[in-house]
A and B are shown apart, each in its own frame.
Chain A
């Protein structure tokens, strides 16, 4: 289920069937201009991942609003804030919460996260509509959905 009025209405009615939440976790920064383009591209790719995964598994999975933050080397503040989100979501209850991100800072702090981390190594900037990118994304999506299913 997506975070839209129609889907949330369905979610409320079928809550007992929906036990998995996905939080897209998206950092940004403006200091390093060389990285802007690449990071914006990753943002697009992540949103395609999450949309596709949602499509395959929508009956059991809720896609939450994305978590946005300013990238930095000190993650402690963000770690607390993200854990607050996760705890809040888990209260519903959700038995599995996944966070999806390209930022390796989360990987370093994985053990302090209250959710399962799905971290993706960064992808090269490219044409999001090219055959190659689409094939790469389809393949990744299949693998991620399969991984999520192993938690069920």
Chain B
């Protein structure tokens, strides 16, 4: 009697745990499907190649590089988050708009325009004294081995739109 009772509860226990496990596995299968279904929608809002208005009008862009910060929504694996982006924006001598990524090509610190008094008219990286000319090319014999990445850009209704930073050929 006692034994039987025991057995039932043991079977029950097994049953429960199997159902639980099954449920868990089903969830595991469902998650990728859900992501699949949700992804295209999210992509529209994300940084997936779309250029976003960074809140700077074309008229305010001068020959002096200025720092621009903006947010983009990004879906990255598990995380969906706002990431902030930064660019150095200016007009070059031909009047063309340039937008450089501030990320140093050595080990990734942020460079600053005229960040060092010793090197006017250059971008300067405070971490290991990396330097770049105004056109973004790395100064030889400083740690960076490639020029600063360039943002895709366009002007729409007088406002600056920026996209993804793209690497270019080394100097």
- Hey, which bits of chain A sit against chain B, CB under 8 A? 10, 14, 17-18, 55-60, 149, 152
Residues of A within 8 A of B106 (CB): 17, 59
B128 at the interface (CB under 8 A from A): yes
Contact residues of B: prevailing secondary structure: loop
Tell me, rounded to whole Å, the shortest Cβ–Cβ distance linking A80 to chain B.
33
10 inter-chain pairs at a CB distance below 8 angstroms, sorted by A residue, are A17-B107, A17-B127, A57-B109, A59-B104, A59-B106, A59-B108, A59-B128, A60-B127, A149-B126, A152-B127
| Residue of A10, A18, A59, A152 most packed against chain B (CB within 10 A) | A59
| Residue of B107, B109, B110, B125 most packed against chain A (CB within 10 A) | B107
Chain B positions 106-135 with a Cβ under 8 Å from a chain A Cβ:
106-110, 125-128
A58 touches B126 (CB 8 A): no
CA distance A59 to B110 in the complex (A): 9
Which A-chain residue is minimally distant from B115 (CB atoms)? A149
Which A-chain residue is minimally distant from B105 (CB atoms)? A59
Q: Which of A14, A55, A152 contacts B126 (CB 8 A)?
A: A152
A58 touches B128 (CB 8 A): no
